[in-house]
């Protein structure tokens, strides 16, 4: 019984979430903020690895990141909606819907054409956002302080509460994604990645797989954008800029598509590299990030997730 519980994904995830929530009480506030941002970026990266499992890479996830951020921001400033959980959820749904609308166009393309078309969407959105003065133009705008079930936490605990909410919501989304990856449609997505023609000749639609995965990726990207906006308390068109999209691709390459937790670890590494190099090597953090990426591709081409997979495979064999 205890072994069965130990192997249960839900149990493992709840244990990990509880651990991280407790750790949040012991670490400094700046690190809580960095981890929350890493979770936001990790959510977008999780969307990209969902696409990668089906053989696609998006260079324009800044598009959905921005839509999610602006959705949360505008709901806060224009509709007075400040509940962080509700904002995250609504941003997830709305951006997922936007994804579902544009996915049939994107899903007709593959490889670099898919990647560049997704990038084009993000650049168009960037161009529009910097021109709309009503929502702050290139400066963006400030989000109202978040509430939780109608309660506004004191500024001392605001970051930690958001961190807890981020961990819980992301934790459950990660569990659902893990179930999806292991389900029949999830496996068919892997087959599409390897041989699309054969999948069609087995009676499944590679197009539908791409639409589904892009919609999921859009929802996740939107939620990530909303979380990032809430954490920063500010949103601006940089959310949709191509360099931001590049960072999400960086996270996905570093993580690989084999493991869900690896994406968040990769996002955390990115945030830490950015924070430390920004502090100790100002204006050179892109150089450090680039070197970091080169070393990652050379030494761990399948990403950090391959270590996770090897570890768990060995664990299974030893049993």
Partner 1 sequence: MSKQSLLRAENVNKSFGAVVAANNININIDKGEKVSLIGSNGAGKTTFMNMVTGYLKPDTGHIYLKNEEITQLDPRIITQKGISRSFQIPQIFEPMTAWENLLIALGTSQKKHSYFKNARSKENGDFIDEILNRFALNEFAYRQVSELPGGVRKLLDIAMALVRKPDILLLDEPTSGVGAEEKYPLMDTIAKALSGQGLTVIFVEHDMDIVQNYSDRIIAFYQGAVIADGNGNTVLNDSNVKKYVTGKTEVKAN
The residues of the shown chain that bind partner 1, judged by CB under 8 A, are 176, 179-180, 182-188, 190-191, 194-195, 197-205
Extract the tokens encoding 253.
């390459």
**Spatial CA neighbour of 25 closest among 138, 146, 237, 167:** 167
Rounded to an integer, what distance in angstroms lies between the CA atom of residue 257 and that of residue 259? Answer: 6
Local structure of residue 80 (DSSP, 8 states)? -
Q: Which residues contact 302 (CB under 8 A, 6 or more apart)?
A: 256, 258
**Shortest Cβ 32–partner 1 spacing (Å):** 32
Q: Are 228 and 62 in contact (CB under 8 A)?
A: no
Q: Which residues contact 171 (CB under 8 A, 6 or more apart)?
A: 13, 14, 16, 17
Q: Which residues contact 286 (CB under 8 A, 6 or more apart)?
A: none
């Amino acid at each position: 019984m205890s072994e069965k519980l130990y192997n249960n994904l839900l149990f493992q995830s709840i244990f990990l979430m509880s651990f991280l929530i407790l750790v949040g009480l012991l670490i400094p506030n700046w690190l809580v903020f960095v981890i929350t941002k890493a979770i936001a970026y990790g959510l977008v990266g999780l969307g990209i690895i969902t696409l990668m499992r089906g053989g696609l890479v998006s260079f324009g996830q800044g598009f959905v990141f921005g839509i999610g951020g602006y959705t949360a921001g505008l709901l806060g400033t224009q509709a007075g909606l400040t509940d962080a959980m509700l904002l995250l959820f609504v941003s997830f749904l709305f951006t997922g819907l936007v994804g579902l609308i544009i996915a049939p166009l994107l899903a007709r393309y593959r490889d670099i054409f898919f990647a560049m078309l997704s990038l084009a969407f993000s650049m168009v959105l960037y161009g529009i956002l910097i021109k709309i003065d009503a929502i702050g133009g290139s400066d963006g705008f400030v989000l109202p302080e978040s509430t939780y079930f109608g309660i506004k936490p004191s500024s001392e605990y605001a970051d930690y509460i958001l961190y807890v909410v981020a961990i819980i919501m992301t934790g459950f989304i990660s569990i659902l994604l893990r179930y999806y990856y292991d389900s029949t449609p999830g496996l068919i997505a892997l087959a599409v990645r390897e041989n699309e023609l054969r999948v069609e000749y087995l009676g499944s639609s590679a197009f539908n797989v791409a639409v589904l995965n892009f919609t999921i990726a859009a929802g996740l990207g939107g939620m990530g954008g909303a979380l990032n906006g809430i954490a920063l308390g500010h949103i601006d068109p940089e959310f949709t800029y191509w360099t931001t999209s590049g960072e999400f691709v960086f996270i996905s390459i570093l993580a690989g598509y084999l493991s869900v937790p690896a994406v968040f670890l990769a996002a955390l590494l990115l945030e830490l590299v950015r924070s430390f190099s920004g502090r100790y090597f100002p204006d050179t953090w892109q150089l450090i990030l680039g070197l970091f990426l080169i070393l990652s591709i050379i030494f761990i081409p399948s990403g950090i997730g391959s270590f996770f997979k090897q570890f768990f495979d060995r664990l299974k064999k030893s049993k």
